[in-house]
Amino acid sequence: MERFAKSFTRQEPIPEPAIEAAVRVMRSGALHRYGAEPSEVAALEREFAASVGAAHALAVASGGYAMTAALRALGVGPGDPVLTNAWTLAPVPGAIAAVGARPVLVEVDDSLRIDLGDLEVKLPQARVLLVSHMRGHLADMEALMALCDAAGVAVVEDCAHTMGAAWNGRPSGRWGAVGCFSCQTYKHVNAGEGGLVCTDDPDLAARMILLSGSYMLYARHGTAPAEAVFARHKGTVPNVSGRMDELRAAILRPQIGALPRQVERWNALYRALEDAFRDAPGLAVVERPQAEAFVGSSIQVLAHDPARVPAFLAACAAWGVEWKWFGGAEAHGFTSRHHHWGYVAPQRLPRSDAILARLLDMRVPLTFDAADCALIGRIVAAEAARHLGAPSRARDPA
C-alpha cells in the first residue's frame, strides 16, 4: 500500500474570472464598499439573496461577525441565555460570548444533529436558539421550527458548513429568522475571510446593516429594506464595524455562481469515502437523512471503542491520512469541545460526551480526486481492521 501524500487543507486556486475581477478592483483603488459605483459588495448581496431566495442579504467581515450581528439584531444582550448545540466549533459559543450572553448547550444525538428531545426540555430557558448545522448535518428543520415557534424562540442558523445545502428542498439559512454563512478559506467559498447573512425580516435586515457600520449610506446596499424601516432603527443601533470590502466581494461573486457544481464534486468524493468506510471494521458511518441535500466537504464516522482510537489515528497518520478526533483531552487545531471553552459555564451533557469520544472527522478538499479517495479508503480499512476490528481478526495490512 502506498502512502497518501496530499494535504487535507489544500485549496483549489481562486477561479480566473474572480482573479480578473479582483485585479479590476485593485486598479480602481476603490476597495471600500461605499466608495465603489457600482459596488461589488452590493452585487454580491443581490446575487446571494437570489441564490437562497431571501428578501435581504448582507455581506460582512466573517461568519463569526454574522452570528453576532444576528444575535444583536434580535436584541440579545448581556446575561441573556442563548441555546446552541453542544457539538459545534468555538466561533459559535464565541459569538454568544461576544454579545455578553450565556450559551446553554443542547445535547446532540448519534446522527450528529441537535437532540430535539433535549431542545424541547431547554426551550423555556431562552428566547433565541443559535442552531449550528455542524459539519453539514441538518436537523429535521420542520420539527425544529415547530418546537421553536410553539415556544416563541427565534432561530438563528449557523450555516458555515451548509452553504449550498437544503432540508426538504428549502435552503439552510432559510428556516430561521436569520441564516449566517462564512466565506472563510476552509468553508464552501473562499475569500480568506468573510461572512453573509440572509433574512426575510426587513427590521432585522435594517438593524444588521446599521450594526455593520453603514455610515447612513445604507441605501447603497444590494437588498436594503425601505427607508421607512431604517427610520425605525436609526440612532438606536450602535455601529459595530464589520463590513465586507470590494476585493473579497469580487472574489466571491463567481464562486457563489459556481457553488452547485462544486457541491456535486464534493458529494462524489464524499460518497466514495463513505463506501470505503462502510466496510471498515469498528467504524460506523453516519447515515444521511433522505430529506437532507448536504455538501460533503467533510465526513464523520463513529468508532465503536474510544479507547482504541488513539492507536488507529496514529497508524492512519503514518500513512498520511489525517483524522480529527473530538474525544482528545486537549483542544487541537480547529477541533475543540465544550469542556475546552472556559468562558462557557460547565454543563452536564453525558450523551454528547459519549458521542464526541467516538467521533472522527475528516476534511474532504476539492483538490482530492477519485483515486485519492480510493487510497484513503484502503488505508482506513486496513488500519481499522488492525486497530479497531475484533482482536482475533487483527491482521497486518502490509
Ligand X SMILES: *Cc1c(COP(=O)(O)O)cnc(C)c1O
Q: Are 239 and 210 in contact (CB under 8 A)?
A: yes
Nearer to ligand X, 82 or 384 (CB): 82
Q: Tell which one of 39, 68, 184, 300 touches ligand X (CB under 6 A).
A: 184
For residue 37, the minimal CB distance to ligand X (Å) is 28
- Please report how close the Cβ of residue 89 comes to ligand X at its closest, in angstroms: 4
Contact 66, 195 (CB under 8 A): yes
* Contact call for residue 172 and ligand X (CB under 6 A): no
Three-state DSSP at 357 gives coil
- Closer residue to ligand X in complex, CB, 101/280: 101
Cβ distance to ligand X smaller for residue 62 or 199: 62
Find out whether 332 and 326 touch, Cβ atoms under 8 Å.
no
* 89 is a contact residue toward ligand X (CB under 6 A): yes
User: Which of 88, 172, 190, 297 touches ligand X (CB under 6 A)?
Assistant: 88
Pairing of strands 292-293, 166-167: antiparallel
Biggest CA-to-CA distance, the chain: 73
* 162 near ligand X (CB under 6 A): no
Residue 158 engages ligand X in binding (rule: CB under 6 A): yes
Any contact of residue 84 with ligand X (CB under 6 A)?
no
Which of 59-67, 303-311, 313-321, 348-356 is the region at the interface with ligand X (rule: CB under 6 A)? 59-67
Residue 54: which residues within 8 A CB-CB, separation 6 or more?
173, 174, 179, 198, 199, 200, 223
Helix, strand, coil: what percent of the chain each, to 5? 40, 15, 45
Toward ligand X, which CB reaches closer, 91 or 254? Answer: 91
Q: Which is closer to ligand X, CB of 187 or CB of 386?
A: 187
Stretch that binds ligand X, among 61-69, 302-310, 344-352, 370-378 (CB under 6 A): 61-69
Q: Is 57 exposed, middle or buried (0-12, 13-18, 19+ CB in 10 A)?
A: buried
> Is residue 160 part of the contact set for ligand X (CB under 6 A)?
yes
CB of 134 to ligand X, least distance (A): 5
**Cα–Cα distance for residue pair 360/141, rounded to 1 Å:** 25
Bridge-based pairing of strands 359-363 and 324-325 is: antiparallel
195 binds ligand X (CB under 6 A): yes
- Chain contacts with ligand X (rule: CB under 6 A): 62-64, 88-89, 91-92, 132, 134, 158, 160-161, 182, 184, 195
